[in-house]
Structure 1
Amino acid sequence: MTGRRRATSAATRVVVVLLGAVVIVGALVALLLVIDAQRSVRAEAERVTRALASTIATTDAVQQALPGPDASARLQSYAERVTARSGVDFITIMTPDGIRVTHRDPAEIGKHYIGTIPTGEQTLTEEYSGTLGPSVRTITPVVSDGRLVGWVSVGVTVESLASALAPRLPFAIVIALAVVAAGVLGALVAGRATRRVTGDLPAGSVRDAVSSYESVRTLGEALRAQTHEHGNRMHTAVALMELGRTDEAIELLTETARSSQDLVDKVVASDGDPTVAALLLGKAAQAAERGVEWTVDMQPGIPRTALGAVDAVSLVGNLVDNAIDAAAAGQPPRWVRVGVASAPQGDVVLTVADSGTGVADDLRDRIFEHGFSTKPAGKAGRGVGLALVRAITEAAGGTIELGMHPTTFRVTLPAQGARR
């Protein structure tokens, strides 16, 4: 091929994923309906065999014929007639010790019953393999004048149960097809809606667009906070000068420059991304604006990660934003600590810890889901940040972990040029 294969669009991926899910759901619905039908057919067979066995056992003709020597002659034709009318597969009448006096196959009369004979005068329903194969049968005692004079067993073969199930299968298939049809329609609508937003962009490009937006957003917030803080300090310094307190004004401005320079020196010494350095400077002002103590610990000589500038800013910015929000909402002392270090294998490890209340145990597996957020709905509750952080990390071949006490996000990323 001379040309490069075109990546699948995000809208197409949405349709494919939804169609796959629809097929699976449709198959599960069909399976559940079949299982329910099987259960219903079996329950019906148990009910019919129990009722018929009880009726036969209380019939005068049966009680009077048992256990006499001519019981077979008197009851065989009776059993055959009832079997034909009731739709069951066999009716076996036997003596108290289990010797058959009637059977569907006359050659089996006089032989011992194959199945469980209850201890005591009780009724039992079971599945057992007899002369006709596996069957669901009910055996009940025949009691006359207070004494046991015989047993009646009524059964339906498993083969007959399968035949009774067959007419119900079209219903299950129709319902399953209706579910699939509704799902296909929903998938097409979702695909069209996605295409209106993303056009024919591949999924990776959509993620890049979201990452770019998040990068601009977090940098904008950082720069706004930094500008606001510097403006406040400049106004304060000017006011001090007007009051003739020049030394204090100089000290204030010198302290501001010293704090910023310390952070710049740490970032530059790590050979990291300069855009991340600018972000961390702005976030320091944002943290101070919200009353959160800000600490950055960057080891010198740390290489750049495999992330591009946009993804790096989006990843770090979202983690820091969450940490500042959590710390600001918690109890004093409020703090956020950012650390960047090298792992033994050459990877770059970013840690962001905060003094917030932490993440509930039942939410730890959900916080990385797209659309999920513990924040109130609205501007601050986008439900995108952590999902995007995980997507960026995994796309770069890295990992992300959540530690507790204190809440700590640990991101491990391969260094630039490293192979996985």
Structure 2
Amino acid sequence: MDRRGRASAASRAFAAVTASVLVVGVLVGALLVVDAQRTAHHEAETVSRAVAESIVAMPLVAEALMAPGATERLQPITDDILADASVDFITIMTPDGIRVTHPDVTRIGLRYLGTVPDAPVPLTEEYTGTLGASVRTIVPVVSDGALVGWVAAGVTLGSITTDLALPRFPFVVGVALTIVAAGIAGAVLARRFMRQVAGDLPADRIRDAVSSYESVRTLSQAMRAQTHEHGNRLHTAVALLELGRTTEAIAILTETSRRSQALLDRIDVPAHIDPAVTALLMGKASQARELGIEWTVEIDPDAPPTGLGSVDLVSVLGNLIDNALDAAASGREPRWVDASLERGTSGELRIVVSDSGDGVPDEFTTRVFEEGFSTKPVGGLGRGVGLPLVRSIVDAAHGSIELAPDAPTTFTVHLPAAEASA
């Protein structure tokens, strides 16, 4: 088979990890930028309040506001503070909000643009004034319990970005680049590890290998149960023969043969259905009896063949039945598993597997097909492999799989018929 143009599993792993890392790096960078802006905004609030309160604390301010010529006495003070403090404006005003000082002297005597509280309490807000949008704090000037004026100090949003947020950007970029670099290094290691494990095999070859393993596993499990059941009956019959109880031995062997024939009659697999499926269903019947589970299987004579090979078809059906048996065995009585293969409304093969188990919790219904996710106990064999593998096989065959939202737990697979998938 020509493998040109088909990315290896190692290359796909590298690409997936690298893409994920880049996304994470961008998201972290964006979050850090937002955090830097939020922090800068908070600093502006703190600085504006501290400057306003420090001016209010000067005895000269209240004294000047209560006497004529307040502007001449206070404007030089605010100009000096403005030159050293990290604020863009300081405005001192009368109790009714008329400016006594302002960075633009032409605006002295005009009304303050911003909120003047109804009560003599500090207020911090974001407001658009003569210098543009700013974060500002207005603090009351009180003398002997009486309000004699207000002091407002503010930082424009432009200054917040330029003076407070921008200095943090190198740190933000550094963190984002560090995350990306570490992630790419991890992607390189992941690719190297994948190549050690799988060489340059394409991803679909890896999936085929896993499918082969799962097919052998579920068939072996089914055959073991059937062999164990038949072995027990055979050993019992041999022991009875040794004891001279021939009639009872013949009865046991006859019952064994009758059960096998009855099972074959119940399954009644059409000739075009893969023999491996027949073996799987017979073995799973024995496994169900071992677990005390009522087993029902129905195969529509019109069930069409599919384009799937024996290995993939056994993997799909076997994993669904294994999950159903596990769920029913751990659930309450009566315990049962139903499986059916039939022709769908569009001529496809429809596989339906239901069980009496406790079901899949609502919060997990969309996660059961995720690789590595399982509702089984941690450490269980094949944990988080079966259903993702089933979906991978079904998707590759252009089919579909769905989990019914209501009880009982029911998985339905639709696979295109052989002539449609050829």
Normalising by the smaller structure, the TM-score range is: over 0.9
Once the two structures are superposed, residues 237-270 of structure 1 have per-residue CA deviations (whole angstroms, 9 ceiling, x without a partner) of: 4455641316624641441342233145x2126x
Please state whether the residue corresponding to 1:417 is helix, strand or coil: helix
Give 1:1-16 correspondences, 5 Å limit: 5-16=4-15
Cross-structure match for 1:252:
255
Aligned 8 A contact 1:67 1:95 in 2: no
Identity of aligned residues (%): 54
1:118 aligns with 2:120: no
Equivalent residue, structure 1, for 2:417: 415
The residue type equivalent to 1:231 in the other structure is G
Distance in 1 between residues matched to 2:301 and 2:240, nearest whole Å = 38
Partner AA of 2:158 in structure 1: E
- Give CA-to-partner distance per residue, 1:284-305, whole Å, 9 cap, x none: 1222233222111111211112
**Shift in Å, 1:405:** 2.4
Structure 1, 204-213 or 47-56: larger mean CA deviation: 47-56
Once the two structures are superposed, residues 379-417 of structure 1 have per-residue CA deviations (whole angstroms, 9 ceiling, x without a partner) of 535321111111112222222222342222111222222
Between the aligned partners of 2:252 and 2:221, the Cα distance in structure 1 is 27
Q: Find the counterpart in structure 2 of residue 167 from structure 1.
A: 167
Deviation digits for residues 21-42 of structure 1 (CA, Å, limit 9, x no counterpart)? 1111111221222222211211
- Distance in 1 (alpha carbons) for counterparts of 2:121 and 2:372: 60
Tell me what 1:32 maps to: 31
> What is the CA-CA distance between 1:137 and the residue it aligns to?
0.9
CA distance in structure 2 between the partners assigned to 1:250 and 1:191 by the alignment: 57
For 1:42-97, what per-residue CA distance to the aligned partner results, in whole angstroms no more than 9, with x for missing partners?
A: 11111111121122123221111115441111211111011112231111111122
Structure 1 unaligned residues grouped into runs of 5+: none
User: What is the CA–CA distance in structure 2 between the aligned matches of 1:131 and 1:194, rounded to whole Å?
Assistant: 63
Letter in 1 for 2:225: A
Moved more, 126-135 or 323-332: 323-332
8 Å CA contact retained: 1:237, 1:253: no
Partner of 1:226: 226
Map 1:7-406 to 2 at 5 A: 7-164=6-163, 165-239=165-239, 242-245=244-247, 248-249=251-252, 251-264=254-267, 266-268=268-270, 271-378=272-379, 380-403=381-404, 404-406=406-408
Task: Tell me how far 1:273 sits from its aligned partner.
Answer: 2.4
Counterparts of 1:172 and 1:379, CA distance in 2: 43
Residues 299, 311 of structure 1: alpha-carbon distance in 2 compared, 3 angstrom cutoff: same
State the alpha-carbon separation in 2 of the partners of residues 198 and 53 from structure 1: 69
User: Structure 2 unaligned runs (5+)?
Assistant: none
Aligned residues between the structures: 416
The 8 Å contact of residues 297 and 340 in structure 2, kept in 1 or not, is answered as yes
The answer (yes or no) to whether the contact 1:233–1:252 under 8 Å persists in 2 is: no
Shift of 1:113: 1.1
Indicate the larger mover: 11-20 or 370-379: 370-379
User: Deviations for 1:168-220, whole angstroms, at most 9, x for unmatched residues?
Assistant: 11111111111111111111111111111111011111111100111111112
2:264–2:282: 8 Å Cα contact kept in structure 1?
no
Q: Supply the distance in 1 between the matched residues of 2:384 and 2:421 (Cα, whole angstroms).
A: 32
Change (3 A) 1:67 1:287: same
Partner amino acid, structure 2, of 1:206:
I
CA RMSD of superposed structures (Å): 2.1
TM-score (norm 2): 0.92
The Cα offsets for residues 217-248 of structure 1, whole Å up to 9 and x where unpaired, read as 11122222222222333334445564131662
Distance 1:237 1:399 in 2: 47
